[in-house]
Amino acid sequence: MPDIQALVSDLASKLRKRRVQGSYETARLTAELLCAVILQHKEPTTNGAASLIEAVRRVGEQLIAANPVELAVGNIVRHVLHIIREEDLSPLTDIVGELKLSAEDDVEDIAEDENSQKSSATTDGCLLKPPLLLAVFEHLPDSATACQTFSSENIFAGKGKKLKSELIKAVNELIEDINTCREGIAEQAMELIHQNEVILTLGHSKFVKEFLCAAKEKKRSFEVFIADGAPKFEGHILAKELDKKGLKAIVITDSAVFAMISRVNMVIVGVHAVMANGGVIAPAGLHVLALAAKKHDVPFVVVASTHELCSLYPHNLEVLLNEMRCPSELLNFEEFSDCIDYGIASSSSLLHVVNPAFDYVPPELISLFVTDIGGYSPSYIYRLIADYYSSEDLPPQQKPAS
């Protein structure tokens, strides 16, 4: 346990100090940590899954509190909790003797094909949650606890071990998924990018880069406009990388997107998080780009992996939180140090610099989501979320709020 605690506080402190950033990196580290948590968890003889869920949730809360802006952490924690609940149910079905096959399939399917898993989930019928019906949602906590108490009675030590190894397997598959999500997204590039098209992107996203490179490798020829993504100007990095791959890249400023949008066939961007309503939290400047695309009826495509799917709605408190970054990214402190002199009564700090990191782009501006499990329209996102997360695990903050 102390070992785990050290690992947890290590990751928490890294998150706190903003030393781990970006949804991919945070998701991977969180999943690895939770894997270790499950591995080390010494379950009591009774009630194995419940205590495990409690342990994972406790770790999750620490991590989420460490940097609430990184929504991917919460996503992974909730997804792992969801996996535990599902796995917990499967031995139950084993004992009941019904639906044994579908449950076994379920375990393997999580990794292989999310769609089939979904179907298997629906075959589980009333035991697992039907995502659409609100009435059933309300009953769910009761039924879930009922299931747990029922299962805990039936779980022997051997069963507990089995549960754990199944869990480890499932979480490892999750890690594998996170690691390979880029390839999954990139596979779909051929279907979306056509010959001689002009693509516009903003800033630097690894998913977008992989996506474009995949199309290039398959001998598609197209042009990329890159809005440079102030204030960090990561678009310049993307331009360099694309140049190495032999792609024609044209750098423009963020403010020039309206000027160039009429020449563009498609906008492809990466985001920070996908909300449950199909909107996205994205680097600042993307909302303008989305509006420009809407105005000229250019398709606005968002590439996102499943770990960016967030079970929150944009009106949730923690989402309203925008990360205010360092003003020195915008301008040089030294140059302005005489303007930012509060020491003189007459000119007390009239100059302020505000540097918000994120924009919210509403779902109606988004044409398509390309995820590692296929392409979806914004209105379908809530279904994906229901497949990925259990409703019990929605953040506790939401309950008092609602």
Partner 1 sequence: MGAQKKRAAAAAAAARVSEDPDDLARQPLQAILLADSFTTKFRPITLERPKVLLPLVNVPMINYTLAWLEAAGVAEVFVFCCAHSKQVIDYLENSEWFSQPNFTVKTIESHNIISAGDALRLIYEQNVIHGDFVLISGDTVSNMSLTQALQEHKERKKKDNNAVMTMIIKKSKPSPITRQSRLGTDELFMAIDPNTKQLLYYEDKADHSKGTICLDKMLLAENPSISLHNDKQDCYIDICSPEVLSLFTDNFDYQHLRRHFVKGLLLDDIMGYKIFTHEIHSSYAARIDNYRSYDIVSKDIIQRWTYPYVPDVKFCGNRATKLERRGICFTAFNSEIEQSRSAQVGSFTVIGYGTKIGSNSKISDSVIGEGCTIGSNVLIEGSYIWDNVIIEDGCELRHVIVCDGVIMKAGAVLKPGVVLSFKVVIGERFVVPAYSKVSLLQQPTVHDSDEELEYADNSSGTVEFSSIQGTADQSNGEMTSESSEAHKPKLGTGGVGYIWSICEGGQEEEWRHSVAPIPEDKLTELSEAMDDDQELVTQDRTALSTSGELISDSNASEGDDNEDSKDDSVYFEKEVEATFLRAVEENVKVDHVILEVNSLRLSYNMTSADCAGAVFYSMMKLAIKTPHSSAIGLLTLYPSPFSMVASNAYPIYLSGELQQNTANIITTWQKLLKSYLLEIDEEIEIILKFEEMCLESAKEFSPLFARILHILYDKDILQEDAILRWADEKEGADESDKVFVRQSEKFIQWLREASEEED
Binding site for partner 1 (CB under 8 A): 6-7, 9-10, 13, 16-19, 32, 35-36, 39-40, 65-66, 165, 168, 321, 324-329, 332-334, 337-338, 340-346, 348-349, 352-355
Neighbours of 324 (CB within 10 A): 12
In the complex, least distance from residue 244 CB atom to partner 1, rounded to whole angstroms: 22
In the complex, least distance from residue 11 CB atom to partner 1, rounded to whole angstroms: 9
Q: How far apart are CA 152 and CA 155, in angstroms?
A: 5
In the complex, least distance from residue 84 CB atom to partner 1, rounded to whole angstroms: 17
In the complex, least distance from residue 35 CB atom to partner 1, rounded to whole angstroms: 8
In the complex, least distance from residue 360 CB atom to partner 1, rounded to whole angstroms: 14
198-202: strand order across its sheet: 248-252, 223-227, 198-202, 266-270, 300-303, 368-371, 374-376
Burial code of 113-134, b = ≥16 C-beta within 10 A, e = fewer? ebeebbebbeebeebbbebeee
* Residues whose CB falls within 8 Å of the CB of residue 37, separated by 6 or more in sequence, listed in order: 4, 8, 55, 56, 59
For partner 1, give the closer residue by CB, 39 or 133. Answer: 39
In the complex, least distance from residue 144 CB atom to partner 1, rounded to whole angstroms: 28
For partner 1, give the closer residue by CB, 66 or 261. Answer: 66
In the complex, least distance from residue 43 CB atom to partner 1, rounded to whole angstroms: 13
* Residues whose CB falls within 8 Å of the CB of residue 92, separated by 6 or more in sequence, listed in order: 147, 150, 151, 154
For partner 1, give the closer residue by CB, 260 or 340. Answer: 340
H helices present in 21-113, as ranges: 23-40, 48-66, 71-96, 100-112
Q: How far apart are CA 118 and CA 113, in angstroms?
A: 9
For partner 1, give the closer residue by CB, 18 or 294. Answer: 18
Q: How far apart are CA 121 and CA 102, in angstroms?
A: 9
* Residue position matching structure tokens 């009630």: 47
For partner 1, give the closer residue by CB, 71 or 214. Answer: 71
Q: Tokens standing for 357?
A: 């990191």
In the complex, least distance from residue 332 CB atom to partner 1, rounded to whole angstroms: 6
CA-closest candidate to residue 369, choices 384, 349, 354: 384
Neighbours of 326 (CB within 10 A): 11
For partner 1, give the closer residue by CB, 134 or 345. Answer: 345
